[in-house]
Amino acid sequence: MSLKYESTRDNRVNVRPSEAVVKGLSDDGGLFVPREIDGLGLDIKEMCSLNFHETAKKVLSLFFTDFSEEQINDSVMKAYDSKFDDPEIVPVKKVGETYIMELFHGSTIAFKDIALSILPHLMKKAQSNCRMKEEIVILTATSGDTGKAALEGFKDVEGTQIIVFYPNDGVSKVQEMQMLTTDGANTHVVAVEGNFDDAQSAVKAIFNDQDLRAKLSAKGMKFSSANSINIGRLVPQISYYFSTYADMVKKDQIKLGDKINFVIPTGNFGNILAGYFAKTLGLPVGKLICAANENNVLYDFLNTGVYDINRDFKKTMSPSMDILISSNLERLLYFMSDKDNAYVAELMDQLKKNKKYEVTDEIKAKIKDQFWSSYCSESDTSQTVKKVYEEEGYLLDTHTAVAYKVYEDYVKATDDESKSVILSTASPFKFTGSVYKALFGQTETDELNLIAELSHQTGIEVPKQIEGLGDRKILHKRFCRPQTMPNEILNILDEK
């Protein structure tokens, strides 16, 4: 079957998979979705016999039907190579009564590496499939992890420029230094006044800025995205849900066909949406458990059906989840509304005008059937890091701690005896300051200097990916306001 992608907001917009990957975002502001996903499926018995690389090839072939088998194979084998420090790519560890899916073994020690290691390969092949001559300008807003992973993935990739915007004082020091010290002739990093939502909203507006697009076209350039609004970023994430299930079957931790739950620390809703896609494809999933921090807009929505961003934005110790406008939720609304593009467009218009919308009772019921949610306070996040380390000898990062606490909430609130897997989205060394403080109390030591101290105190080796991070030269020093981001982009491209 040759798959087509349409806009969440207009079913008259239909493009090939390669076009969806290259464009990133539909011209109408909608996100690309595969309308025929209900007709897709994977044989779970076969999937449980595969390794991670074989799993990724199966998943990608299903969604990117205009890519050749050779293109898929080449992309997978080049993406998931020695830059991952574990041959399993995504190992699964038993911790207490639950299981931890470790998604932090790539080059930037965060889960975004899984998708952003392969996206540049998919992007270049998609360009070729579309016979596209323009240089691609990757435009990305990040709440912390996407930025470095995208920079690493696209660094020095011929025919591309990558510009990453991040909220000034809105990411961890380790995340910031990872971005600011990235080399490569085509990499650009800009701190933005405000929070992630400010940067992300500005990026979306830029994608639909006809004047700016015309100026880029005159330079022989075209915008695309490395955020999970790009379907090429989202689809690779489906793979680790299947590989984790297969891993647990192979270890006799579950029987083939048993349903398991996944607990996902969630901000932009991409990671959990990949789990929803996996379930749609036939993975035996019980509940997809959405773990929120104190920016609990998703928790409120999943429990009430009301999405309301008329609230204070909070900076937390799990900054990658400090998001109020969850872009990928739009894709879920598309499927929950039985692919009613006009209805989705109406909700997005309400959100833009009123900063709020409410879905129908029918959609509320569907969501309750698929998802469960709770949220974790700052104090509970710290306490969970300390408790799990002292009781289980396992060190969680702050985002994974949010998920662990929400998993405990789920166990208390339900009689579900299904096994649960927590998605660990980052190494604890990515958020050294908060983790160290949770374990040993406040310290005046700089966060970068705490990396070695945390390793010394816990006996856990510093990931080689960030060794000597504090000694690296800062290469990017740009700063702007959200409203001046278009000018900043033009300045960057004029200087290159």
> Any idea which residues carry the catalytic annotation?
112
Rg of the chain over all Cα atoms, to the nearest angstrom: 21
Helix (H) or strand (E) holding 384: helix 378-392
Q: Which two tokens stand for residue 442?
A: 């406040």
Token duo for residue 135:
């240089």
Q: How far apart are the first and last CA of the chain?
A: 42
Structure token digits, residue 86: 């574990």
How many CB atoms sit inside 10 A of residue 418's CB?
14
- Residue holding tokens 């990558």? 162
Residue 262 CA to residue 242 CA, distance in Å, equals: 12
Lookup result for tokens 């929070």? 195
Please tell me the distance from the alpha carbon of residue 69 to that of residue 66, in angstroms, as a whole number: 9
Distance, CA of 354 to CA of 310 (rounded, Å): 9
What is the DSSP secondary structure assignment for residue 31, as one 8-state letter?
Answer: P
Q: How far apart are CA 385 and CA 440, in angstroms?
A: 11
Cβ atoms of residues 396 and 384 within 8 Å: yes
* Token output for 314: 């909070």
Q: Which residue in the block uniquely carries the two structure tokens 């959405």?
A: 290
- How many whole angstroms from its chain centre is CA 14? 25
Contacts from 6-9 at CB under 8 Å and sequence distance 24+?
Answer: 6/32, 6/33, 6/35, 6/341, 7/31, 7/32, 7/33, 7/341, 8/32, 8/33, 8/330, 8/331, 8/333, 8/334, 8/341, 8/344, 8/345, 9/341, 9/342, 9/344, 9/345, 9/348
Bridge partners of 32? 7
Q: What is the bridge-based pairing of β-strands 371-375 and 221-224?
A: unpaired
Contact 97, 118 (CB under 8 A): no
Cβ pair 422, 407 in contact under 8 A = yes
Buried b (16+ CB within 10 A) or exposed e, 196-219: bbbbbbbbbebbebeebbeebeee
